[in-house]
Amino acid sequence: MIRLRLVWPVAATALLAYSVAHADESDPRVIEQRLVALESRPEQKSLVAEPVAQARKALERVKNAQAAGDVPHALELAALAKEHTDLAADVLRAVALEKELSAVELKLTDASQKRRRAESLLEESIAHRERTKQELLQLRAAKSVPEKGATPPPVAAPSGKVTKAASSTKPAKTAAPSTVRNPANAPKAVAK
């Protein structure tokens, strides 16, 4: 029982607040102010001409119904005028969103073109790197195979002395140890 005593005042307050807020939106003066705001810009006026005209007709009928004392129909006609006003506002929002969409599509197209260019440059760079790598391998292979008639490069002997590399067709000539003379053991010439 105590709960019902608390629920009814809260529900009544919420219903009253809703009706006041809803009544303000359907008030002919509020609707007229919104219509003036919607028609304030010349570029918007042509876009919302039809819904605004329908809202103004509904507002005129609201005034006639109020003058005749027909309050229920006046409220319905005010709701109709509000719907036409909301439609006009929705049209303007849709136009603004379409402009944003076209700007985003333009940015997307630009980004897509930049991505394609970057991919092309990357593929071109990879292909150039592979060609250069092949050329380098060919140059290294050409240097490692001696040309016919060319002298082979010098190779370090095990004793640390540099000798010419032996070719595969000729055996290397080496001096016999008995025939090599050591200059330190040679007789010295006497100076007169």
Interval 51-64: pLDDT, tens = 999 999 999 999 99
Count of structural domains, the chain = 1
What is the phi/psi pair of residue 46, to 5°? -70, -30
**Mean pLDDT for the stretch of residues 127-152:** 84
Query: Across the chain, what does the average pLDDT equal?
Result: 78
Residue 182 lies in a domain: no
Residue bearing tokens 């067709």: 169
Supply 133's token pair.
């790598």
Residue 191 lies in a domain: no
Comparing 2-16, 18-32, 149-163, 178-192, the range with the smallest average pLDDT is 2-16
In three-state secondary structure terms, 46 is coil
Residue 114 lies in a domain: yes
Nearest to 25 by CA among 94, 81, 69: 81
Residue 165 lies in a domain: no
At residue 16, the pLDDT reads 43
Residue 172 lies in a domain: no
At residue 125, the pLDDT reads 97
What is the phi/psi pair of residue 177, to 5°? -65, -25
pTM score: 0.50
At residue 13, the pLDDT reads 55
Residue 7 lies in a domain: no
Residue 174 lies in a domain: no
For residue 35, give its domain range. 14-141
Percent of the chain's residues with pLDDT above 90: 48
Of residues 139 and 9, more confidently modeled: 139
Q: What confidence tens digit (pLDDT) does each residue in 62-87 have?
A: 999 999 999 899 999 999 999 999 99
Beta strands in the chain (DSSP E): 154-156, 162-164
User: Are 166 and 153 within 8 A, CB to CB?
Assistant: no
**Mean pLDDT for the stretch of residues 11-33:** 64
Q: What confidence tens digit (pLDDT) does each residue in 105-126 have?
A: 999 999 999 999 999 999 999 9
User: What is the Cα–Cα distance from 97 to 1, expressed in whole angstroms?
Assistant: 53
Pairing of strands 154-156, 162-164: antiparallel
User: Are 85 and 26 within 8 A, CB to CB?
Assistant: no
